[in-house]
């Protein structure tokens, strides 16, 4: 890195309603698929930090669960994880969809942000789904809701507008030394990333209500010379869900395992043998000790 006197470094949290594209945006900005994504709402369940280091500076991104009306203890944990991410950060990115309708969910987020006293950049995501002339009324509608530092129309999926967004982010970060070395991309452990990859595969392979009641717990990771052997439990809430996850003759669990193994091999850059087990833990999302056991800790 050069020109260290002008180096900026800071923490930036990404918040918004469920399924607005927060994890996709973070992956796009850092240039790697670290956070899992799916078309299911509430895919992200806890804070995840990733690091982008450039000549200009270092950004520590904090990806968060979508803020929603919690229906169980896990939902309360997720909301707490999102709201607490505003503490001690230098900037907040608020993601919204390109609609002039601003509902109660968005209004509640505005109230949270007003109390947080953190500079906010508004990102109007999914601009690839609307025509250009439809964005102006969206921008006008949101301008009236909060004193945003800047407003960026973007498409996290296509990467449109993200370079301008990065330049905008650096403007609001303080000058200072980096928090992590240049090689660091995330502070997540390999075990945590493996568990998330398996859960991503479950989310993408199952279409019904089952994914919302699924957690993944990695039991063992054994690194041998030529291969890494991994055992993991897919935990669901009902016996009927277990049958759906396994599928007829084990067809579904084989698909889940095959897709997850391919992604884990990319992560670890080595051959992987993945063994998955499906277990039932009744109403685990209501049980705070089980929630902590599955890695959802405040």
pTM score over 0.75 = yes
Mean predicted confidence (pLDDT) in 112-117: 87
Give the whole-angstrom CA distance, residue 267 versus residue 128: 29
Confidence at residue 84, expressed as pLDDT on a 0 to 100 scale: 75
Tens-place pLDDT, residues 243-256: 999 999 999 999 99
Tens-place pLDDT, residues 35-48: 767 666 666 666 78
Confidence at residue 2, expressed as pLDDT on a 0 to 100 scale: 46
Confidence at residue 68, expressed as pLDDT on a 0 to 100 scale: 61
Confidence at residue 105, expressed as pLDDT on a 0 to 100 scale: 83
Give me the residues paired with residue 222 across strands: 229
Mean pLDDT rounded to a whole number for the chain: 87
Mean predicted confidence (pLDDT) in 196-219: 84
Mean predicted confidence (pLDDT) in 162-172: 96
Which residues, at least 6 apart from 140, have a Cβ–Cβ distance to it below 8 Å? none
User: Domains of the chain (ranges plus CATH)?
Assistant: 4-171 (3.40.50.300), 190-293 (3.30.300.20)
Which residues, at least 6 apart from 176, have a Cβ–Cβ distance to it below 8 Å? 7, 8, 9, 10
The proportion of the chain whose per-residue pLDDT surpasses 70, expressed as a percent, equals: 89
Confidence at residue 211, expressed as pLDDT on a 0 to 100 scale: 62
The proportion of the chain whose per-residue pLDDT surpasses 90, expressed as a percent, equals: 54
């Amino acid at each position: 890195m050069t020109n260290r006197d002008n180096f900026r470094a800071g923490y930036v949290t990404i918040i918004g309603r469920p399924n607005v594209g927060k994890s996709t945006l973070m992956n796009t900005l850092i240039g790697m698929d670290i956070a899992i994504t799916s078309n299911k709402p509430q895919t992200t369940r806890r804070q995840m930090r990733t690091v982008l280091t450039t000549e200009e500076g270092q950004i520590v991104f904090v990806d968060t669960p979508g803020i929603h009306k919690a229906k169980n203890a896990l939902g309360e944990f997720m909301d707490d994880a999102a709201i607490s991410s505003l503490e001690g950060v230098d900037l907040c990115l608020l993601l919204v969809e390109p609609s002039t309708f601003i509902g109660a969910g968005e209004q509640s987020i505005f109230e949270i942000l007003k109390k947080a006293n953190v500079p906010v950049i508004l990102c109007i995501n999914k601009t690839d789904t609307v025509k250009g002339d439809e964005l102006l009324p969206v921008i006008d509608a949101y301008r009236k809701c909060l004193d945003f530092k800047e407003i960026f129309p973007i498409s996290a999926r296509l990467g449109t507008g993200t370079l301008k967004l990065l330049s905008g982010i650096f403007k609001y970060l303080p000058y200072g030394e980096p928090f992590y070395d240049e090689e660091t991309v995330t502070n997540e452990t390999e075990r945590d990333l493996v568990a998330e990859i398996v859960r991503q595969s479950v989310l993408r392979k199952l279409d019904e209500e089952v994914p919302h009641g699924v957690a993944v717990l990695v039991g063992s990771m054994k690194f041998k010379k030529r291969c890494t052997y991994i055992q993991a439990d897919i935990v669901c809430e009902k016996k009927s869900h277990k049958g759906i996850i396994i599928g007829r003759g084990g067809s579904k669990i084989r698909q889940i395992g095959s897709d997850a193994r391919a992604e884990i091999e990319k992560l670890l850059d080595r051959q992987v043998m993945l063994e998955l087990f499906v277990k039932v833990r009744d109403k685990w999302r209501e049980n705070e000790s089980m929630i902590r056991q599955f890695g959802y800790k405040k």
